[in-house]
Each structure stands twice: as structure tokens, then as C-alpha cells.
Amino acid sequence: MFDLYGTESVLQYRGKDIICNPPHLFALANAACTKLKDFKENQCILISGESGSGKTEATKLMLRYMAAIGGMQNHHITQPILEASPLLESFGNAKTMHNDNSSRFGKYVELYLENGVINGASTSQYLLEKSR
């Protein structure tokens, strides 16, 4: 079985230009971190899709990647950030035609990095549609 999101994949994409490897969530996360660190340009990654398409999982994997490439210097900061995403997901979920656990909220996660290391974050949720 392929380990598409494990340590080996982190190492494959870490510090590499986005075109050096096959398309992957880690390539996007790495490109954003590189631009932020090297060019001091704020970055935004928008994850969208249909119900059940894996938006929450993609967010979780990108956050884990960013925490991994930053090292464990701020583990006491990165661990709560990684644990917050599933907690936010639990608010506002409802059963729909597409799946049993569909979110009614958009989630916004803002990471604060210093020298490529996560040193803080803020999160918000926004109501997307009225409950029926």
C-alpha cells in the first residue's frame, strides 16, 4: 500500500519547487510556505468542493505537513492547532442527501509563521446556508 501522506512524502516535497514532483497537497503547502518564508508574501490556500469531497481531510493533511516541515520546536503550539480542525468540524454538521455528516459552515484557518515555523493560529466558522 502507498503511504501518500507519511514521512516519506513529507521529505519528497519539502523544499522542492512545485513542478519537481507529481501534483500533491504537500506541493501546494510547500509552495505557500516557501513564498511566505523567502519572499515575505502572505499566502492563501482555498480548499473547496462538493459535500464529501475531502475538504476537511485536505485541510488536516496540509496543516500536518506545515507542522512537520517546521520541526517540533513549537510542538506545544502546533498540536492544539492540529487538534482544533476536527473540533470545529463537529459544530454545525447535519445529515444530507450526499452524506451523514455534512458541514453547514465554512472554516477559516489563519496560520502565523515565523522563520517557517508555526507560532500561532486563529480559526473561524461562517454559516453557509440556513438549516431547514
Annotation: binding site: 49-56
Helix (H) or strand (E) holding 81: helix 75-90
- Residue that the C-alpha cell 451523514 belongs to: 100
- Cβ-contact 88, 123 below 8 angstroms: yes
For the annotated binding site for ATP, the residues are 49-56
* Distance of alpha carbon 130 from alpha carbon 132, whole angstroms: 6
* Distance of alpha carbon 120 from alpha carbon 98, whole angstroms: 35
- 12-81-122-128 Cα dihedral, nearest 10 degrees: 90
Nearest to 89 by CA among 76, 102, 99: 102
